[in-house]
Amino acid sequence: MKQFDVVIAGGAMAGMTLALAINKLSDKPLSIAVVEPFKADHQAHPGFDSRSIALSYGTVNTLKTLALWDDIAEVATPIKHIHVSDRSHAGMTDITTEEVGVEALGYVVELADVGRIYHSRVENDDHIELLCPESVAAVERSQNDVTVTLSSGESICSKLLVAADGAISTCCEKVGLELVEHDFEQVALIANVKVQAAPKGMAFERFTESGPIALLPMSEGRMSLVWCLKPSEADSVMSLNDEAFLQTLQDAFGWRVGAMAQVGQRASYPLLLRYRRQNISHRFAIVGNAAQTLHPIAGQGFNLGIRDVATLAEEIAASAHDPGTYQVLSQFKNRRERDREATISLTSSLVHIFSNDYLTMRIGRNLGLAAMDNLSVLKAPLLARTLGLVTR
């Protein structure tokens, strides 16, 4: 039976970042296995698909310390200005690089690009073995190790198993960690949109009575769209032809980026808050979407996941010889608790405040946006979360 120090279930963003981070931070290399069902060049790879994500300023700094940023920077588009507004109402606020004093508020990357970079890095790392296509079929834990049976029937052994296998984590189910779910009763519609006016680093979050619309700057005059809609509306909008879709989007978003000129392939998925209260168990830890999957409002989910990954990598690197001890895992849990709870709570509160059109809510959020634009004391906490400047 092959022996590893750490087995990571899931080779998408969280899992791959963790695999590469551990030995960057460790004095002595650890042997790591990454168990991944989908090959990187497979068009259907769900973790490195056609979506784009926004990496916060804090996440970029973390990736720099892990020596992962330079390659990603070549395929990243900087966010220089974030405009937040409420459709048909006065409330709005702006966040700019000049105001904050940074080169970029964050960066937009296409997951497919990052997937290629990460897989190339892993293939050239003698201490990481990518087991693909494979998935976890069974987990058996003893006092000192974990035995993982793979879908091929092969068994591998390690000191620690890390679940980075997505919101519906097979590993968490096999270990018996409860999943808490809340349905936001919204659907996220995602696509890349070409716009008349080049985005020039502008990102937009526009709140409508159906839910928020986010447009993030990309290369070649494109913007990454995340449009949150009520399920019945989402079905209707998804069924439109491209011309009718662009017109409907134009009506909802307005003309801040000129005419919506072209739309790429569209996809949609239901929006649920999914999280596990416990992010550790015996010789077992959870990171990324397996630990918590958030509503995309304010773009917090992935950046929270990277903070999980970086903290776990630090604790593993600091462990003398056994990364799966109770001391290592409890330290990871304690360091992550406050940030996890605060970010989950903030995200859910924003959805409630900005996704309905009750008069009291509308007045309150518009007063809030207006005050935030003029009072730095109100803006500072949101800025810290937006930039990912959060204590780990």
From CA 81, how far away is CA 385, in angstroms rounded? Answer: 15
Query: pLDDT tens, position by position, for the chain (392 residues)?
Result: 999 999 999 999 999 999 999 999 999 999 999 999 987 664 544 544 467 899 999 999 999 999 999 999 999 999 999 888 776 554 567 888 888 888 999 999 998 899 999 999 999 999 999 999 999 999 999 999 999 999 999 999 999 999 999 999 999 999 999 999 999 999 999 999 999 988 899 999 888 877 889 999 998 889 999 999 999 999 999 999 999 999 999 999 999 899 999 999 999 999 999 999 999 999 999 999 999 999 887 778 899 999 999 999 999 999 978 999 999 999 999 999 999 998 888 887 777 665 555 444 444 444 444 444 444 444 555 666 667 777 78
User: Domain segments of the chain: what residues?
Assistant: 2-51+111-180+273-349
Which CATH code, of 3.30.230.10, 3.40.50.800, 3.20.20.10, 3.50.50.60, is assigned to 2-51+111-180+273-349? Answer: 3.50.50.60
